[in-house]
């Protein structure tokens, strides 16, 4: 395993999950998860709130142990703070008064975990800022930047360490469509150029459809994995939820419509079901579930 | 009595040196106090230095030692009871109220002359002895060394704890360490400006500096500078006006700097806002091509304070170049 990792050089890391189970007390989050993510592959994790999507990222980050089963990244157990793994946490909008500039945020990705006084590692920081196209505003206080600009800087931070695996938690949440497109373009180009393995949690498949190789859908303690075309179907999702779910295409957008509350609104156009009432409800014919 | 004569006196020299030491340590921790939202922790540990001093006086006849040990106990208590940010302030309030009560009880037991304990409340800069100076110097050294070693992870953990945790930063341990450093600093400062006025050297300098800059290093430098100017400047003024306590001038100067920074800040911020708005439209229009050079004239460096010049002032040609892979 080790020699393979060494030979792959700048390429992505492979993830292997076997019989992976996570429980909190008696509550099963997901169980017997088997998944292989190839180096350089892009996996989207979908599912309703509380299905354990972020939890899975925490397992890959080495922050949470599995209750049962195994997980490896490039043949080794996940380790907290690994330089191989870049992480973009779920967005928390920065306070306008936060005393820090964009490039300081990116610099954390280079040496934020190291001891000693900050030394200028300008080349690495500049390269990461350029990779997300944030050079023109990287010197401004982060709190004064837009949500999309902040998100690009956070991605730059995660990329600054040159990771082989990039984990993003809802990278498009609360972004306007133009910013979503920009962020997807950044991720897509970076992945193409560096062969980085990308895993991200998302509410909506549509904006990232061009980027995603495979989908892992988790719901109600069950899971399904495969190409977006095979997973995002009425049959697969209905089986997962244990109730009838409609997957329909509207103007090229994939919409998941369910009546049991658990599924409704998850594939909201803006990715934020809390912002508006679930749109799925009125499409739902009576008598299902 | 001229200021020249005063400056030749050991007590005045001690006072100036003590004020400078306290100001440097206060100025150093100040940005983290503000970023981590720990102003109330400063207030709490400062007031409880009174309890520690009373205990020290009663047990060992040494108020400074009592205050130092007491501050570490208080820091550990705050860390234990107020581990979650949400409950921290209420935990500090509970500890503070109880601790002050204990302080009054202890002082009641003490039969001697209790000025040493009450001095901790209001500060007695002209009573700084050689040994106290040594204590202040030791505290200063500890703070400088600790901040020098853990500056980056502490800043990372203060700004974005979740990401820092994932990156391997020991967020909780750093939080406890900072509380201990804070408690030491505050106890040292209490002897000079008094517990009630510690806030003026541990919070106000960074609150002012953050209005003027967003560069962490510049904020640290400005914060130390403001603290030293306030502490030693206030002291020098008090040499001229002999019947007013030095604390009055120190806190007044500190507040004046803060007000000036707040007045000057919006001018910088306003222009930054303009810059930001400009890029919004640019960003929206060219959302799929994020690497394109800016369409809006002026970089942040031309609108902001000088310390930013190291950042965004790269030549346009360089900016337009395709991104290089980050080397690792």
pLDDT in tens, A13-58: 789 999 999 988 888 888 899 999 999 999 999 988 888 889 999 9
User: What does the pLDDT read at residue B311?
Assistant: 37
| B1 — pLDDT class (breaks 50, 70, 90) | low
Work out the average pLDDT over A72-97: 88
Which residues in chain B touch residue A194, judged by CB atoms under 8 angstroms apart?
Answer: 325
pLDDT at B62: 80
Instruction: Provide the ipTM.
Output: 0.81
CATH for A2-84+163-283?
A: 3.40.50.300
| Cα angle, residue B99 at apex, residues B254 and B19 outer, rounded to 5° | 25
Q: What confidence tier does B182 reach under pLDDT thresholds 50, 70, 90? A: very high
Q: How far is A47 from chain B (nearest CA, A)?
A: 22
Predicted confidence (pLDDT) per residue in A118-142, tens digit: 666 688 889 889 888 889 999 999 9
Number of CB pairs, chain A paired with chain B, less than 8 A apart: 200
pLDDT of residue A209: 82
For chain B, the domains span 3-196
Q: How close does chain A come to B102, measured CA to CA in Å?
A: 38
pTM of the model: 0.79
Q: What is the pLDDT of residue B114?
A: 63
Query: pLDDT per residue over B251-276, tens digit each?
Result: 899 999 999 999 987 766 544 443 44
Helices (H), ranges, chain A:
2-7, 53-60, 102-111, 122-131, 147-160, 177-194, 228-231, 234-241
Query: Which residue of chain A has the CA closest to B156?
Result: A112
What is the nearest CA distance from B255 to chain A, expressed in angstroms?
A: 19
The DSSP 8-state label assigned to residue A141 in this structure reads B
Class of domain B3-196: mainly alpha
Contacts of A69 (CB under 8 A, 6+ apart): A17, A18, A19, A20, A21, A32, A33
Distance from CA of A101 to the nearest CA of B (A): 6
**Residue of B159, B164, B323 lying closest to A127 (CB–CB):** B323
Task: Give the mean pLDDT of B96-105.
Answer: 90
Q: Does B290 touch chain A (CB under 8 A)?
A: yes
User: Considering only CA atoms, which of B243, B232, B246, B252 is closest in space to residue B194?
Assistant: B246
Burial (0-12, 13-18, 19+ Cβ within 10 Å), A154 = buried
Whether B275 contacts chain A with CB within 8 A: yes
DSSP letter, residue B286 = T
Provide the residue ranges of all domains of chain A, joining segments of one domain with +.
Answer: 2-84+163-283, 95-162
* Mean pLDDT of all residues in B76-97: 88
Task: Say whether residue B169 is in contact with chain A using an 8 A CB cutoff.
Answer: yes
**Contacts with A, B 103-162, CB within 8 Å:** 148-153, 155-156, 159-160, 162
Estimate to the nearest angstrom the gap between the alpha carbon of A199 and the chain centroid: 5
Residues B60-72 as b or e (16 or more Cβ within 10 Å = b)? eeebbbbbbbbbb
Asked if A130 and B323 come within 8 Å (Cβ–Cβ), the reply is yes
- pLDDT averaged over every residue in chain A: 80
């Amino acid at each position: 395993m080790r020699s393979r990792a060494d030979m792959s050089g700048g390429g992505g890391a492979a993830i292997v999950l076997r019989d992976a189970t996570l429980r909190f007390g008696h509550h099963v989050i997901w169980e017997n998860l088997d998944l292989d993510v190839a180096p350089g592959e892009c996996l989207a994790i979908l599912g309703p709130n509380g299905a354990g999507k972020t939890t899975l990222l925490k397992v890959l980050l080495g922050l949470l142990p599995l209750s049962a089963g195994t997980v490896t990244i490039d043949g080794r157990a996940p380790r907290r703070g690994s330089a191989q793994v870049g992480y973009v946490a779920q967005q928390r909008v920065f306070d306008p008064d936060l005393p820090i500039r964009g490039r300081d945020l990116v610099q954390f990705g280079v040496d934020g975990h190291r001891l000693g006084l900050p030394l200028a590692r300008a080349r690495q920081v500049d390269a990461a800022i350029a990779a997300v196209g944030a050079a023109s505003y990287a010197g401004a206080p982060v709190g004064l930047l837009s949500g999309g600009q902040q998100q690009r800087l956070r991605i730059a931070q995660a990329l600054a360490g040159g990771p082989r695996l990039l984990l993003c938690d809802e990278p498009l949440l609360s972004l306007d469509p133009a910013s979503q497109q920009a962020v997807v373009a950044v991720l897509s180009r970076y992945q193409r150029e560096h062969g980085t393995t990308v895993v991200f949690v998302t509410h909506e498949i549509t904006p990232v459809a061009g980027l995603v190789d495979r989908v892992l859908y988790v719901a109600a303690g069950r899971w399904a994995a495969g190409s977006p075309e095979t997973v995002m179907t009425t049959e697969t999702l209905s089986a997962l939820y244990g109730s009838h779910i409609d997957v329909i295409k509207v103007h090229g957008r994939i919409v998941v419509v369910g009546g049991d509350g658990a599924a409704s609104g998850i594939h909201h156009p803006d990715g934020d079901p809390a912002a508006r009432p679930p749109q799925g409800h009125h499409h739902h014919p009576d008598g299902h579930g | 009595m001229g200021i020249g004569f005063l400056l030749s006196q050991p007590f005045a020299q001690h006072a100036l040196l003590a004020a400078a030491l306290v100001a440097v340590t206060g100025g150093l921790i100040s940005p983290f106090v503000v970023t981590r939202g720990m102003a109330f922790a400063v207030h709490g540990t400062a007031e409880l230095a009174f309890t520690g001093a009373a205990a020290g006086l009663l047990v060992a006849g040494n108020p400074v030692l009592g205050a130092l040990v007491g501050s570490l106990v208080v820091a550990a208590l705050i860390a234990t009871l107020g581990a979650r940010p949400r409950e921290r302030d209420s935990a500090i309030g509970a500890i503070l109220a109880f601790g002050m009560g204990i302080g009054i009880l202890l002082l009641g037991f003490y039969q001697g002359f209790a000025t040493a304990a009450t001095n901790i409340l209001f500060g007695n800069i002209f009573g700084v002895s050689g040994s106290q100076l040594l204590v202040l110097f030791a505290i200063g050294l500890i703070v400088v060394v600790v901040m020098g070693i853990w500056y980056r992870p502490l800043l990372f953990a203060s700004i974005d704890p979740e990401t820092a945790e994932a990156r391997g930063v020991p967020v909780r341990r750093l939080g406890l360490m900072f509380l201990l450093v804070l408690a030491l600093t505050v106890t040292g400062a209490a002897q000079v400006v008094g517990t009630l006025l510690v806030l003026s050297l541990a919070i106000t300098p960074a609150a002012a500096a953050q209005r003027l800059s967003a560069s962490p290093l510049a904020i640290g430098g400005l914060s130390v500078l403001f603290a030293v100017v306030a502490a030693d400047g206030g002291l020098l003024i008090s040499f001229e006006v002999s019947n007013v306590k030095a604390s009055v001038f120190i806190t007044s100067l500190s507040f004046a700097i803060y007000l000036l920074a707040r007045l000057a800040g919006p001018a910088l911020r306003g222009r930054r806002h303009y810059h930001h708005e400009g890029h919004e439209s640019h960003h929206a229009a060219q959302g799929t091509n994020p690497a394109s050079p800016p369409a809006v004239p002026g970089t942040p460096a031309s609108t902001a304070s000088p310390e930013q010049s190291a950042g965004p002032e790269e030549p346009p040609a360089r900016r337009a170049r395709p991104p290089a892979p980050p080397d690792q």
